[in-house]
Amino acid sequence: MEGDAVKDLGVHTTNGANIPSCCLKARAFPIDPAVEANCHPTVVSGWFSDKAAKKMYFNNPMWPGEAHSLEVEKILFKEKSEYQEVLVFESTSYGKVLVLDGILQLTEKDECAYQEMIAHLPLCSIESPKKVLVLGGGDGGVLREVSRHSSVESIDICEIDKMVIDVSKKFFPELALGFEDPRVHLHVGDAVEFIRNTPPGKYDAIIVDSSDPVGPALELVEKPFFEMLARALRPGGVLCNMAESMWLHTHLIQDMINVCREIFKGSVHYAWTSVPTYPSGVIGFILCSTDGPTVDFKIPINPIEKVEGALEHRRELKFYNSQLQILCRKCCQAFQKYIDMV
Amino acid sequence: MEGDAVKDLGVHTTNGANIPSCCLKARAFPIDPAVEANCHPTVVSGWFSDKAAKKMYFNNPMWPGEAHSLEVEKILFKEKSEYQEVLVFESTSYGKVLVLDGILQLTEKDECAYQEMIAHLPLCSIESPKKVLVLGGGDGGVLREVSRHSSVESIDICEIDKMVIDVSKKFFPELALGFEDPRVHLHVGDAVEFIRNTPPGKYDAIIVDSSDPVGPALELVEKPFFEMLARALRPGGVLCNMAESMWLHTHLIQDMINVCREIFKGSVHYAWTSVPTYPSGVIGFILCSTDGPTVDFKIPINPIEKVEGALEHRRELKFYNSQLQILCRKCCQAFQKYIDMV
């Protein structure tokens, strides 16, 4: 859920009117001045300041009708980059928190679940991944996880917002250490342009660690983007793309799955995990493979436990394991009805 | 997470000072006048009223440092019973919501996950369950799920607060329909007294659908309560007890597991599921069996899919399935380190 790497797909898609109401994420500040204007006087720039109790809360507007608030111990950083408002604060219960344009991106306490799953779900599903691309992911957390794989020879990352990288290096050293790996090649720029200029078949795996596919990033669920991703993968290469909550966005997920099934001739799957500070407490992933050697995302053929040094590389693995991959792919009765998730 | 069925264990245990800070659930109203006094003027009785935007929010104080808010469409009921404050409102995004003493108990949108899991995890783990006891569960949701099992001959329920039952019948017919089953025998009273007077070995399965085991219900993690539960079960009988969040309460869960391992000579397991409106978006269950025929909670030997008429009984099964039972028992790397969850 990082950066705003994918800004312009060169396709005419983004239209607020087309976003279903359940997906219309409230953007607190400074994207929508109307939201700001409607805020209660105590909610300042997405912050709920309880002056009577001398407590301050970061009020994360998630989806219409609900919000999650974290108590703020101290604001550490607040600045506007070329692309977005970047905010870092120390919370009382989830460690340091990164917020972009008013939307919570990660907390120190639960980032492990997201970063480990989005990286190892694809990388453990193919043998000896060598060339990996990360789109977005400017905090470095996904890089940290990808670099656990000793087979990997090069990791390209394309992040549009340098401020996110700098802020992560300053405030989130446990994530930014991902940049220290000599195999990492950083490209600061637009992810769509980057992927458009990528030679066909270059990568074994691509991980899209982007903003939510609503509002400005709605293009992420559009066909042209997935077509470019598929083209950049080798036969039997894998894509892992952040794919929202099964509790809140069944139709959006179904749309993504349908689009991916048209484009990816290998397999297309959905998986999810628990992340307390994300909307509805879960986050999903869409996993796809291109035509070529068969990829079965249900069974990690490259189990992390057998990758030399992987469990302790730079930082111990905290969340992911092979069993979790097998199980997280399963979904519940309800969602199976709405989404054909096989 | 229902009722306050377990009020008095007859043991000297509850002592606020002993509750770890991460477990100290803020009770909004009217339990702790200090909380009320500290509230911002716009937070009235646990409600955040955003007058500028003419919106009202139910501000659910969960654990120190965070809160989850639901937008209120209409307050449907608010009254003080002999035991607690009972509140029902229509939310804009999760349907009708039941709140006891300021703590969210269930929403129409996600109650299926909790009710189905707490009932079918134990009942699908033994062959032909016949006698079942539910402690708490005054909304009727667990009864609805237990009654899917055609082998069941009698379902005793002991709920202390009649107002919860009446309110459920009025506002939550999809849950209260559980009371309509002729096998159900309702006992309005104290659960501890009920279990103390239960003949040994009476039940095949006991489901404890109680308040959170913090504050007044801290006794729930105490040995005497579990001893009485074990005594009331037949050899190889099963218990399923609500057991909080693995993200927030590892030590509490570990304590429960340790206590249960001392008492239950069969097997003791932990399982969890996603419930968006509960703290950290998950809820856990502790599963125990008494000495006798072996119970393996990992594999449902009485799969719901094979129980005659179970999937459509009164209301379609929405969440649970056999695969989910297998997977939900697994836990992630992080929690396995802190909690021996096997």
Say what the ipTM of the complex is.
0.80
Q: Which domains does chain B have, with CATH numbers?
A: 30-107 (2.30.140.10), 110-341 (3.40.50.150)
DSSP B150: T
- Averaged pLDDT, A320-326: 70
Q: Select from A66, A299, A319 the residue whose CB has the most chain B CBs within 10 Å, as the one to mutate to test that interface.
A: A66
3-state secondary structure of B187: strand
Tell me how many residue pairs between chain A and chain B have CB atoms under 8 A apart.
146
Asked if A92 and B50 come within 8 Å (Cβ–Cβ), the reply is no
Model confidence at A11, pLDDT cuts 50, 70, 90, reads: very low
Please give the Cα distance from B75 to B72 (Å, whole number): 7
Residue A209, beta-bridge partner list = A136
Question: In the block, which residue shows the tokens 């400017």?
Answer: A138
Q: Is A101 exposed, middle or buried (0-12, 13-18, 19+ CB in 10 A)?
A: buried
DSSP A196-214: HTSPTT-EEEEEEE-S-SS
A38, A94, A333 member nearest B53 (Cβ): A38
User: Could you tell me which of A119, A298, A144, A127 has the C-alpha nearest to residue A209?
Assistant: A119
B41 touches chain A (CB under 8 A): yes
Contact B247, B280 (CB under 8 A): yes
Model pTM score: 0.83
- Averaged pLDDT, B130-141: 97
Q: Is the pLDDT of residue A21 over 60?
A: no
Model confidence at A56, pLDDT cuts 50, 70, 90, reads: confident
What pLDDT is attached to residue A34? 40
Asked if A92 and B280 come within 8 Å (Cβ–Cβ), the reply is no
Please give the Cα distance from B48 to B43 (Å, whole number): 4
The shortest C-alpha distance from A63 to chain B (Å) reads 9
Asked if B94 and A66 come within 8 Å (Cβ–Cβ), the reply is yes
Contact residues for B44 (Cβ-Cβ < 8 A; gap 6+):
none
- Whether the ω angle into residue B30 lies within 30 degrees of 0, i.e. cis, is yes
CA A156 to each of CA A46, A105, A141, A188, A202: distance values in angstroms, whole numbers, following the listed order: 34, 21, 14, 11, 11
Do the bridges between strand A282-289 and strand A268-274 make them parallel or antiparallel, or are there none, so unpaired? antiparallel
Model confidence at A271, pLDDT cuts 50, 70, 90, reads: confident
pLDDT digits (tens, 9 = 90+) for A88-114: 999 988 999 999 888 899 999 999 999
3-state secondary structure of B106: strand
Please give the Cα distance from B205 to B237 (Å, whole number): 6
Q: Which two tokens stand for residue A96?
A: 């340091």
Asked if A334 and B326 come within 8 Å (Cβ–Cβ), the reply is no
